Chain A
Amino acid sequence: MAPPAAHRSGSNKRAQLGLFAGYVLAGSGALVGVLLLALSLWSPQTFQGLRMMATDLAAPAGQAGAATRVQTRSVFDAVAGYYDAGSRNAELEREIAVARVRLAEAEAVRQENERLKATLGLARGETGRVAIARLIGSSSSSARRFAFISAGRNDGVTNGMPVTSPMGLVGRVLETGANTSRVLLLTDSESMVPVRRATDDVVAFAEGRADGSLRIRLINLGINPLVEGDVFVTSGAGGMFRPGVAVAMVTRVTDDGAIGQLLSNPAATDLVIVEPIWQREVLEQAAEELPPEGVTQ
Protein backbone atom coordinates (compact mmCIF):
# COMPACT_ATOMS: atom_id res chain seq x y z
CA MET A 1 0.00 0.00 0.00
CA ALA A 2 1.20 3.49 -0.78
CA PRO A 3 2.17 5.74 2.10
CA PRO A 4 -0.51 8.17 3.24
CA ALA A 5 -0.38 11.66 1.81
CA ALA A 6 0.54 13.06 5.23
CA HIS A 7 3.88 11.36 4.87
CA ARG A 8 4.88 13.80 2.14
CA SER A 9 5.01 17.11 3.91
CA GLY A 10 5.51 19.29 0.84
CA SER A 11 5.73 22.97 1.71
CA ASN A 12 3.31 22.71 4.61
CA LYS A 13 5.31 24.03 7.54
CA ARG A 14 3.11 22.27 10.12
CA ALA A 15 3.38 18.91 8.39
CA GLN A 16 7.14 19.33 8.06
CA LEU A 17 7.43 19.99 11.80
CA GLY A 18 5.21 17.00 12.61
CA LEU A 19 7.29 14.71 10.46
CA PHE A 20 10.47 16.04 12.01
CA ALA A 21 9.07 15.58 15.53
CA GLY A 22 8.19 11.98 14.67
CA TYR A 23 11.76 11.24 13.66
CA VAL A 24 13.12 12.99 16.77
CA LEU A 25 10.78 10.95 19.02
CA ALA A 26 11.63 7.67 17.33
CA GLY A 27 15.35 8.46 17.36
CA SER A 28 15.32 9.33 21.04
CA GLY A 29 13.34 6.14 21.70
CA ALA A 30 16.11 4.14 20.06
CA LEU A 31 18.70 6.11 22.05
CA VAL A 32 16.90 5.39 25.34
CA GLY A 33 16.91 1.74 24.26
CA VAL A 34 20.69 1.82 23.77
CA LEU A 35 21.18 3.33 27.22
CA LEU A 36 18.83 0.83 28.90
CA LEU A 37 20.55 -2.03 27.06
CA ALA A 38 23.99 -0.88 28.18
CA LEU A 39 22.70 -0.54 31.74
CA SER A 40 21.15 -4.00 31.80
CA LEU A 41 24.19 -5.65 30.21
CA TRP A 42 26.35 -3.96 32.82
CA SER A 43 24.09 -4.86 35.75
CA PRO A 44 21.56 -7.50 34.64
CA GLN A 45 19.43 -7.44 37.80
CA THR A 46 18.47 -3.78 37.42
CA PHE A 47 15.06 -4.38 35.87
CA GLN A 48 14.30 -7.58 37.78
CA GLY A 49 11.32 -6.08 39.66
CA LEU A 50 9.67 -4.75 36.52
CA ARG A 51 10.16 -8.02 34.63
CA MET A 52 8.90 -10.24 37.41
CA MET A 53 5.84 -8.01 37.96
CA ALA A 54 4.96 -8.45 34.29
CA THR A 55 5.53 -12.21 34.47
CA ASP A 56 3.32 -12.42 37.57
CA LEU A 57 0.54 -10.65 35.66
CA ALA A 58 0.86 -12.86 32.58
CA ALA A 59 1.31 -16.11 34.52
CA PRO A 60 -2.35 -17.22 34.67
CA ALA A 61 -2.35 -17.62 30.89
CA GLY A 62 0.86 -19.60 31.07
CA GLN A 63 -0.51 -21.87 33.79
CA ALA A 64 -3.59 -22.70 31.73
CA GLY A 65 -1.30 -23.45 28.80
CA ALA A 66 0.94 -25.69 30.92
CA ALA A 67 -2.07 -27.78 31.96
CA THR A 68 -3.05 -28.17 28.29
CA ARG A 69 0.48 -29.21 27.41
CA VAL A 70 0.33 -32.16 29.81
CA GLN A 71 -3.05 -33.21 28.52
CA THR A 72 -2.12 -33.02 24.85
CA ARG A 73 1.05 -34.96 25.46
CA SER A 74 -0.86 -37.80 27.10
CA VAL A 75 -3.37 -37.80 24.22
CA PHE A 76 -0.55 -38.27 21.70
CA ASP A 77 1.00 -40.91 23.90
CA ALA A 78 -2.29 -42.77 24.09
CA VAL A 79 -2.69 -42.81 20.30
CA ALA A 80 0.92 -43.79 19.72
CA GLY A 81 0.55 -46.59 22.25
CA TYR A 82 -1.77 -48.59 20.00
CA TYR A 83 0.81 -48.95 17.25
CA ASP A 84 3.49 -50.95 19.00
CA ALA A 85 1.63 -52.45 21.95
CA GLY A 86 2.66 -56.10 21.36
CA SER A 87 6.38 -55.73 20.85
CA ARG A 88 6.43 -53.07 23.58
CA ASN A 89 4.85 -55.50 26.03
CA ALA A 90 7.43 -58.24 25.44
CA GLU A 91 10.24 -55.72 25.68
CA LEU A 92 8.88 -54.30 28.94
CA GLU A 93 8.59 -57.75 30.49
CA ARG A 94 12.22 -58.45 29.67
CA GLU A 95 13.17 -55.09 31.14
CA ILE A 96 11.22 -55.78 34.33
CA ALA A 97 13.02 -59.08 34.82
CA VAL A 98 16.36 -57.29 34.55
CA ALA A 99 15.16 -54.44 36.72
CA ARG A 100 14.12 -56.79 39.54
CA VAL A 101 17.65 -58.13 39.71
CA ARG A 102 19.08 -54.62 39.65
CA LEU A 103 16.67 -53.54 42.38
CA ALA A 104 17.88 -56.31 44.63
CA GLU A 105 21.46 -55.31 43.94
CA ALA A 106 20.66 -51.68 44.67
CA GLU A 107 19.00 -52.66 47.94
CA ALA A 108 22.17 -54.48 48.93
CA VAL A 109 24.27 -51.47 48.05
CA ARG A 110 21.93 -49.20 50.01
CA GLN A 111 22.21 -51.34 53.09
CA GLU A 112 25.95 -51.43 52.81
CA ASN A 113 25.98 -47.67 52.30
CA GLU A 114 23.92 -47.11 55.46
CA ARG A 115 26.18 -49.39 57.41
CA LEU A 116 29.27 -47.56 56.24
CA LYS A 117 27.73 -44.17 56.92
CA ALA A 118 26.73 -45.29 60.40
CA THR A 119 30.32 -46.35 60.94
CA LEU A 120 31.54 -42.93 59.89
CA GLY A 121 28.87 -41.17 61.94
CA LEU A 122 27.46 -39.28 58.96
CA ALA A 123 23.86 -38.17 59.16
CA ARG A 124 22.02 -38.50 55.91
CA GLY A 125 21.55 -34.99 54.57
CA GLU A 126 17.85 -34.18 54.48
CA THR A 127 17.34 -32.10 51.34
CA GLY A 128 13.63 -31.45 51.50
CA ARG A 129 11.80 -29.34 49.01
CA VAL A 130 10.78 -25.72 48.99
CA ALA A 131 8.00 -25.86 46.44
CA ILE A 132 6.57 -27.92 43.62
CA ALA A 133 5.86 -25.87 40.53
CA ARG A 134 4.85 -26.09 36.91
CA LEU A 135 7.07 -24.96 34.06
CA ILE A 136 4.81 -22.33 32.47
CA GLY A 137 6.98 -20.97 29.69
CA SER A 138 10.45 -20.31 28.37
CA SER A 139 12.33 -17.68 26.40
CA SER A 140 11.72 -19.71 23.27
CA SER A 141 12.66 -16.96 20.79
CA SER A 142 15.74 -15.56 22.53
CA ALA A 143 19.31 -16.86 22.52
CA ARG A 144 19.17 -16.93 26.31
CA ARG A 145 17.63 -20.00 27.93
CA PHE A 146 15.25 -19.03 30.70
CA ALA A 147 12.11 -20.77 31.92
CA PHE A 148 9.30 -19.48 34.07
CA ILE A 149 7.92 -21.57 36.94
CA SER A 150 4.72 -21.07 38.87
CA ALA A 151 6.23 -20.58 42.33
CA GLY A 152 7.71 -17.41 43.78
CA ARG A 153 8.49 -15.52 46.97
CA ASN A 154 5.11 -16.43 48.44
CA ASP A 155 6.10 -20.10 48.27
CA GLY A 156 9.47 -19.46 49.87
CA VAL A 157 11.54 -19.49 46.70
CA THR A 158 14.67 -17.33 46.77
CA ASN A 159 17.39 -16.63 44.22
CA GLY A 160 19.92 -19.38 43.59
CA MET A 161 17.76 -22.34 44.58
CA PRO A 162 18.26 -25.46 42.41
CA VAL A 163 15.32 -26.64 40.32
CA THR A 164 15.10 -30.37 39.64
CA SER A 165 12.74 -32.81 38.01
CA PRO A 166 12.51 -36.55 38.66
CA MET A 167 14.82 -37.00 35.65
CA GLY A 168 17.56 -34.72 36.96
CA LEU A 169 18.71 -31.14 37.31
CA VAL A 170 16.80 -28.46 35.35
CA GLY A 171 18.49 -25.24 36.43
CA ARG A 172 18.55 -22.67 39.19
CA VAL A 173 16.29 -19.79 40.21
CA LEU A 174 17.55 -16.47 38.92
CA GLU A 175 14.81 -13.95 39.75
CA THR A 176 11.75 -14.34 41.92
CA GLY A 177 8.39 -12.62 41.63
CA ALA A 178 5.46 -12.93 44.00
CA ASN A 179 4.03 -16.07 42.36
CA THR A 180 6.45 -16.83 39.52
CA SER A 181 10.19 -17.20 39.18
CA ARG A 182 12.63 -17.11 36.33
CA VAL A 183 14.91 -20.12 36.06
CA LEU A 184 18.31 -20.18 34.36
CA LEU A 185 18.23 -23.48 32.46
CA LEU A 186 21.34 -25.65 32.30
CA THR A 187 21.64 -25.07 28.56
CA ASP A 188 22.05 -21.29 28.92
CA SER A 189 25.57 -20.25 28.03
CA GLU A 190 25.93 -18.48 31.40
CA SER A 191 25.12 -21.63 33.33
CA MET A 192 27.97 -23.70 34.75
CA VAL A 193 27.52 -26.70 37.02
CA PRO A 194 30.28 -28.67 38.75
CA VAL A 195 29.76 -32.34 37.86
CA ARG A 196 31.48 -35.70 38.22
CA ARG A 197 31.13 -38.98 36.34
CA ALA A 198 28.55 -41.16 38.07
CA THR A 199 30.80 -44.22 38.14
CA ASP A 200 34.00 -42.64 39.43
CA ASP A 201 35.46 -39.30 40.41
CA VAL A 202 36.30 -37.71 37.07
CA VAL A 203 35.37 -34.10 37.82
CA ALA A 204 34.30 -31.56 35.22
CA PHE A 205 32.22 -28.49 34.55
CA ALA A 206 28.98 -28.72 32.55
CA GLU A 207 28.56 -25.51 30.56
CA GLY A 208 25.46 -24.61 28.57
CA ARG A 209 25.82 -24.20 24.81
CA ALA A 210 22.50 -22.37 24.16
CA ASP A 211 21.52 -24.97 21.53
CA GLY A 212 20.16 -27.64 23.86
CA SER A 213 23.39 -29.49 24.63
CA LEU A 214 26.06 -29.13 27.30
CA ARG A 215 29.81 -28.87 26.97
CA ILE A 216 31.54 -31.03 29.58
CA ARG A 217 34.98 -29.59 30.32
CA LEU A 218 37.33 -31.78 32.31
CA ILE A 219 39.20 -30.09 35.12
CA ASN A 220 42.20 -32.43 34.97
CA LEU A 221 43.49 -32.22 31.44
CA GLY A 222 45.40 -35.17 30.11
CA ILE A 223 44.19 -38.33 28.45
CA ASN A 224 40.47 -37.93 27.94
CA PRO A 225 38.86 -40.85 29.82
CA LEU A 226 35.32 -40.17 28.63
CA VAL A 227 33.36 -42.50 26.35
CA GLU A 228 29.93 -42.11 24.83
CA GLY A 229 27.17 -42.98 27.26
CA ASP A 230 28.93 -41.77 30.42
CA VAL A 231 26.47 -40.19 32.83
CA PHE A 232 27.43 -37.09 34.79
CA VAL A 233 25.88 -36.10 38.12
CA THR A 234 26.33 -32.97 40.23
CA SER A 235 29.43 -33.17 42.42
CA GLY A 236 28.26 -30.81 45.14
CA ALA A 237 31.32 -28.61 44.72
CA GLY A 238 30.52 -24.95 45.23
CA GLY A 239 27.73 -25.75 47.67
CA MET A 240 24.81 -24.75 45.50
CA PHE A 241 23.56 -28.08 44.10
CA ARG A 242 23.39 -31.17 46.30
CA PRO A 243 25.60 -34.00 45.00
CA GLY A 244 24.24 -36.92 43.01
CA VAL A 245 21.61 -35.24 40.82
CA ALA A 246 21.76 -36.47 37.23
CA VAL A 247 22.82 -33.80 34.73
CA ALA A 248 23.94 -35.09 31.34
CA MET A 249 24.97 -38.06 29.24
CA VAL A 250 27.96 -37.91 26.91
CA THR A 251 26.99 -38.09 23.24
CA ARG A 252 30.22 -36.98 21.56
CA VAL A 253 33.77 -36.99 22.89
CA THR A 254 35.91 -33.95 22.05
CA ASP A 255 39.56 -33.10 22.67
CA ASP A 256 39.16 -31.49 26.07
CA GLY A 257 35.99 -33.18 27.27
CA ALA A 258 32.71 -34.01 25.65
CA ILE A 259 29.40 -32.75 24.37
CA GLY A 260 26.56 -34.02 26.54
CA GLN A 261 22.86 -34.44 26.11
CA LEU A 262 20.69 -33.02 28.88
CA LEU A 263 19.07 -35.82 30.90
CA SER A 264 16.08 -33.91 32.24
CA ASN A 265 14.93 -32.32 29.00
CA PRO A 266 12.74 -29.42 30.17
CA ALA A 267 10.48 -29.90 27.14
CA ALA A 268 9.33 -33.26 28.52
CA THR A 269 9.10 -32.02 32.09
CA ASP A 270 5.85 -30.81 33.56
CA LEU A 271 6.27 -30.49 37.33
CA VAL A 272 9.57 -29.41 38.83
CA ILE A 273 10.79 -29.31 42.42
CA VAL A 274 12.48 -26.25 43.88
CA GLU A 275 15.06 -27.41 46.40
CA PRO A 276 16.82 -25.37 49.06
CA ILE A 277 20.41 -24.31 48.39
CA TRP A 278 22.51 -27.23 49.56
CA GLN A 279 25.11 -25.45 51.71
CA ARG A 280 23.61 -21.99 52.18
CA GLU A 281 25.76 -21.04 55.21
CA VAL A 282 28.99 -21.90 53.43
CA LEU A 283 27.95 -19.92 50.35
CA GLU A 284 26.98 -16.88 52.41
CA GLN A 285 30.23 -17.04 54.31
CA ALA A 286 32.17 -17.26 51.08
CA ALA A 287 30.25 -14.33 49.66
CA GLU A 288 31.20 -12.20 52.67
CA GLU A 289 34.85 -13.03 52.38
CA LEU A 290 35.16 -12.57 48.65
CA PRO A 291 34.43 -9.36 46.81
CA PRO A 292 31.00 -9.63 45.10
CA GLU A 293 31.32 -11.30 41.73
CA GLY A 294 29.54 -10.07 38.63
CA VAL A 295 26.02 -11.44 38.83
CA THR A 296 24.99 -13.31 35.74
CA GLN A 297 21.61 -12.53 34.37
Chain B
Amino acid sequence: MEQLNPRSRSDAYGKKINRDHSPVLVYGVPCLTILLGSLTPMLPVIAPAPVLPPFGLLILIAWRLLRPGLLPLWAGFPFGLFDDLFSGQPFGSGIMLFSLILIGLDLLEARFPWRNFWQNWLTTAAILAAYLSLAALLSGAQISVMQLGLVLPQLLLSIVLFPIVASLVTVLDRVRLLRVRRIG
Protein backbone atom coordinates (compact mmCIF):
# COMPACT_ATOMS: atom_id res chain seq x y z
CA MET B 1 0.00 0.00 0.00
CA GLU B 2 2.85 2.42 0.89
CA GLN B 3 4.27 1.93 -2.58
CA LEU B 4 1.10 3.21 -4.15
CA ASN B 5 0.56 6.09 -1.77
CA PRO B 6 3.25 7.04 0.78
CA ARG B 7 0.68 8.88 2.90
CA SER B 8 -1.80 6.03 3.02
CA ARG B 9 -1.15 5.26 6.67
CA SER B 10 -1.10 8.86 7.90
CA ASP B 11 -3.69 11.58 8.35
CA ALA B 12 -3.63 15.31 9.00
CA TYR B 13 -1.92 14.71 12.31
CA GLY B 14 0.92 12.49 11.00
CA LYS B 15 1.58 8.78 10.82
CA LYS B 16 -0.99 6.55 12.43
CA ILE B 17 1.13 3.48 13.09
CA ASN B 18 3.55 3.44 15.99
CA ARG B 19 2.85 7.11 16.82
CA ASP B 20 0.66 8.84 19.36
CA HIS B 21 -0.21 12.36 20.54
CA SER B 22 2.20 13.92 23.00
CA PRO B 23 0.53 14.89 26.29
CA VAL B 24 2.89 17.85 26.52
CA LEU B 25 1.51 19.27 23.28
CA VAL B 26 -2.08 18.20 23.93
CA TYR B 27 -2.33 20.15 27.18
CA GLY B 28 0.66 22.47 26.83
CA VAL B 29 -0.41 24.33 23.68
CA PRO B 30 -3.82 25.50 25.01
CA CYS B 31 -2.43 26.47 28.42
CA LEU B 32 0.56 28.29 26.95
CA THR B 33 -1.49 30.25 24.41
CA ILE B 34 -3.99 31.37 27.07
CA LEU B 35 -1.18 32.45 29.40
CA LEU B 36 0.56 34.30 26.55
CA GLY B 37 -2.73 36.06 25.79
CA SER B 38 -2.87 37.23 29.41
CA LEU B 39 0.56 38.81 28.96
CA THR B 40 -0.91 41.45 26.59
CA PRO B 41 -0.16 44.28 29.06
CA MET B 42 3.53 43.56 28.50
CA LEU B 43 3.10 44.48 24.83
CA PRO B 44 4.76 47.79 24.04
CA VAL B 45 1.39 49.53 23.60
CA ILE B 46 0.98 52.40 26.05
CA ALA B 47 -2.72 52.96 25.64
CA PRO B 48 -4.37 56.20 26.79
CA ALA B 49 -7.73 54.40 27.08
CA PRO B 50 -8.81 50.75 27.26
CA VAL B 51 -8.41 49.64 23.63
CA LEU B 52 -6.94 46.15 23.41
CA PRO B 53 -9.26 43.17 23.79
CA PRO B 54 -8.76 40.84 26.77
CA PHE B 55 -6.73 38.33 24.74
CA GLY B 56 -6.32 35.81 27.56
CA LEU B 57 -10.09 35.49 27.92
CA LEU B 58 -10.67 35.48 24.13
CA ILE B 59 -8.25 32.58 23.64
CA LEU B 60 -9.69 30.74 26.65
CA ILE B 61 -13.22 31.00 25.22
CA ALA B 62 -12.01 29.94 21.77
CA TRP B 63 -10.38 26.77 23.17
CA ARG B 64 -13.38 26.04 25.36
CA LEU B 65 -15.81 26.32 22.44
CA LEU B 66 -13.61 24.34 20.04
CA ARG B 67 -12.72 21.51 22.42
CA PRO B 68 -15.22 21.08 25.26
CA GLY B 69 -13.76 18.87 27.96
CA LEU B 70 -10.16 19.75 27.17
CA LEU B 71 -9.94 22.23 30.04
CA PRO B 72 -11.40 21.26 33.43
CA LEU B 73 -14.35 23.25 34.70
CA TRP B 74 -12.22 24.86 37.42
CA ALA B 75 -9.67 26.18 34.88
CA GLY B 76 -11.04 29.69 35.38
CA PHE B 77 -9.25 29.87 38.72
CA PRO B 78 -5.62 29.44 37.56
CA PHE B 79 -6.06 31.34 34.29
CA GLY B 80 -7.93 34.17 36.02
CA LEU B 81 -5.25 34.35 38.69
CA PHE B 82 -2.52 34.69 36.08
CA ASP B 83 -4.53 37.31 34.20
CA ASP B 84 -5.00 39.32 37.41
CA LEU B 85 -1.26 39.52 37.93
CA PHE B 86 -0.83 41.64 34.80
CA SER B 87 -4.18 43.06 33.72
CA GLY B 88 -4.32 46.01 36.13
CA GLN B 89 -7.67 44.84 37.48
CA PRO B 90 -7.92 44.38 41.25
CA PHE B 91 -6.73 40.92 42.24
CA GLY B 92 -9.62 38.45 42.22
CA SER B 93 -11.75 40.00 39.48
CA GLY B 94 -10.25 37.73 36.84
CA ILE B 95 -10.56 34.66 39.08
CA MET B 96 -14.23 35.35 39.68
CA LEU B 97 -15.21 36.37 36.15
CA PHE B 98 -13.24 33.61 34.37
CA SER B 99 -14.73 30.97 36.70
CA LEU B 100 -18.26 32.27 36.20
CA ILE B 101 -17.79 32.39 32.41
CA LEU B 102 -16.61 28.76 32.29
CA ILE B 103 -19.53 27.62 34.46
CA GLY B 104 -21.91 29.61 32.26
CA LEU B 105 -20.49 28.07 29.09
CA ASP B 106 -20.92 24.61 30.59
CA LEU B 107 -24.58 25.25 31.38
CA LEU B 108 -25.10 26.71 27.92
CA GLU B 109 -23.59 23.61 26.39
CA ALA B 110 -25.97 21.35 28.28
CA ARG B 111 -28.79 23.32 26.63
CA PHE B 112 -27.28 23.57 23.11
CA PRO B 113 -24.91 20.62 22.62
CA TRP B 114 -24.58 21.20 18.86
CA ARG B 115 -23.68 24.68 17.75
CA ASN B 116 -22.45 26.36 14.60
CA PHE B 117 -19.87 29.09 14.33
CA TRP B 118 -22.40 31.94 14.29
CA GLN B 119 -23.84 30.73 17.57
CA ASN B 120 -20.36 30.57 19.05
CA TRP B 121 -19.66 34.09 17.88
CA LEU B 122 -22.92 35.38 19.35
CA THR B 123 -22.18 33.62 22.65
CA THR B 124 -18.71 35.14 22.76
CA ALA B 125 -20.06 38.61 21.98
CA ALA B 126 -22.55 38.36 24.83
CA ILE B 127 -19.87 37.06 27.22
CA LEU B 128 -17.44 39.82 26.21
CA ALA B 129 -20.05 42.55 26.67
CA ALA B 130 -20.86 41.27 30.15
CA TYR B 131 -17.21 40.70 31.05
CA LEU B 132 -15.93 44.09 29.88
CA SER B 133 -18.67 46.09 31.57
CA LEU B 134 -18.43 44.11 34.83
CA ALA B 135 -14.63 44.35 34.79
CA ALA B 136 -14.83 48.12 34.27
CA LEU B 137 -17.34 48.51 37.12
CA LEU B 138 -15.26 46.30 39.45
CA SER B 139 -11.92 47.80 38.44
CA GLY B 140 -11.87 50.31 41.30
CA ALA B 141 -11.94 53.17 38.79
CA GLN B 142 -14.51 55.93 39.29
CA ILE B 143 -16.82 54.67 36.57
CA SER B 144 -20.57 54.68 36.86
CA VAL B 145 -23.00 52.73 34.72
CA MET B 146 -23.53 55.88 32.64
CA GLN B 147 -19.87 55.95 31.61
CA LEU B 148 -19.77 52.39 30.29
CA GLY B 149 -19.55 53.77 26.73
CA LEU B 150 -15.87 53.85 27.57
CA VAL B 151 -15.55 50.12 26.85
CA LEU B 152 -17.50 50.23 23.56
CA PRO B 153 -14.47 50.56 21.22
CA GLN B 154 -12.75 47.75 23.10
CA LEU B 155 -15.88 45.59 22.94
CA LEU B 156 -16.29 46.11 19.19
CA LEU B 157 -12.63 45.29 18.55
CA SER B 158 -12.88 42.16 20.71
CA ILE B 159 -16.00 40.93 18.92
CA VAL B 160 -14.48 41.57 15.49
CA LEU B 161 -11.26 39.83 16.50
CA PHE B 162 -12.95 36.68 17.79
CA PRO B 163 -13.19 34.88 14.40
CA ILE B 164 -9.48 35.52 13.85
CA VAL B 165 -8.61 34.21 17.30
CA ALA B 166 -10.88 31.22 16.78
CA SER B 167 -9.29 30.29 13.46
CA LEU B 168 -5.85 30.74 14.99
CA VAL B 169 -6.90 28.33 17.71
CA THR B 170 -8.05 25.77 15.13
CA VAL B 171 -4.62 25.97 13.48
CA LEU B 172 -2.99 25.52 16.87
CA ASP B 173 -5.33 22.61 17.52
CA ARG B 174 -3.79 20.76 14.57
CA VAL B 175 -0.32 21.42 16.00
CA ARG B 176 -1.55 20.22 19.36
CA LEU B 177 -2.77 16.90 17.99
CA LEU B 178 0.35 16.10 15.90
CA ARG B 179 1.41 12.51 16.52
CA VAL B 180 4.97 13.10 17.59
CA ARG B 181 5.33 10.51 20.34
CA ARG B 182 6.87 7.20 19.24
CA ILE B 183 5.38 4.11 20.88
CA GLY B 184 7.60 1.13 21.55
Q: Which residues of chain A have a CB within 8 Å of any CB of chain B? A: 1-4, 6-7, 22-23, 25-27, 29-30, 32-41, 44, 46-47, 50-51, 54-55, 58-59, 61-62, 65-66, 68-69, 135-148, 185, 187-190, 210-212, 262, 265-267, 269, 297
Q: What separation, in Å, do the CA atoms of A30 and B76 have in the docked complex?
A: 8
* Residue from A32, A40, A51, A267 within 8 A of B77 (CB atoms): A32
8 closest Cβ pairs, A-B complex: A139-B88, A36-B92, A33-B96, A33-B95, A212-B48, A37-B92, A29-B77, A30-B99
Judge if B174 is at the interface, Cβ distance under 8 Å. Answer: no
- B55 neighbours in A (Cβ, 8 Å): 141
CB distance A262 to B48 under 8 Å?
Answer: yes
**How far, in Å, is B105 (CB) from chain A's closest CB?**
11
Stretch at the interface among B10-18, B19-27, B79-87: B79-87
Q: Given contact pairs A36-B96, A190-B140, A297-B90, enumerate 4 new A-B contacts (beta carbons under 8 Å).
A: A51-B86, A58-B39, A210-B141, A262-B48
- B87 neighbours in A (Cβ, 8 Å): 139, 141-142
Q: What separation, in Å, do the CA atoms of A66 and B86 have in the docked complex?
A: 17
Judge if B168 is at the interface, Cβ distance under 8 Å. Answer: no
Judge if B119 is at the interface, Cβ distance under 8 Å. Answer: no
Judge if B129 is at the interface, Cβ distance under 8 Å. Answer: no
Q: What separation, in Å, do the CA atoms of A139 and B72 have in the docked complex?
A: 28
Q: Which residues of chain B have a CB within 8 Å of any CB of chain A? A: 39-55, 66-69, 72-74, 76-77, 80, 84-100, 102-103, 106, 109-110, 113-114, 135-136, 138-143, 147, 150-151, 154
Q: What separation, in Å, do the CA atoms of A58 and B86 have in the docked complex?
A: 9
Q: What separation, in Å, do the CA atoms of A185 and B69 have in the docked complex?
A: 41
Closest chain A residue, CB of each to CB of B148: A143
Assuming the contacts A39-B92, A41-B90, asked whether A140 and B43 have C-beta atoms less than 8 A apart, the reply is: yes
**How far, in Å, is A40 (CB) from chain B's closest CB?**
4
- B97 neighbours in A (Cβ, 8 Å): 33
* Residue from A34, A59, A69, A188 within 8 A of B96 (CB atoms): A34
- A47 neighbours in B (Cβ, 8 Å): 91
CB distance B88 to A50 under 8 Å?
Answer: no
Q: What separation, in Å, do the CA atoms of A148 and B138 have in the docked complex?
A: 21
CB distance A1 to B67 under 8 Å?
Answer: yes
**How far, in Å, is A215 (CB) from chain B's closest CB?**
11
Assuming the contacts A29-B76, A40-B91, asked whether A189 and B143 have C-beta atoms less than 8 A apart, the reply is: yes
CB distance A26 to B54 under 8 Å?
Answer: no
- B102 neighbours in A (Cβ, 8 Å): 26
CB distance B68 to A7 under 8 Å?
Answer: yes
Query: Could you jot down 28 A-B contacts, CB within 8 Å?
Result: A3-B68, A7-B68, A7-B110, A29-B80, A32-B77, A32-B92, A33-B94, A33-B95, A34-B92, A36-B96, A37-B93, A44-B90, A55-B85, A65-B43, A66-B44, A69-B44, A135-B44, A138-B41, A138-B46, A141-B50, A141-B87, A143-B50, A187-B49, A189-B141, A189-B142, A210-B142, A211-B49, A267-B45
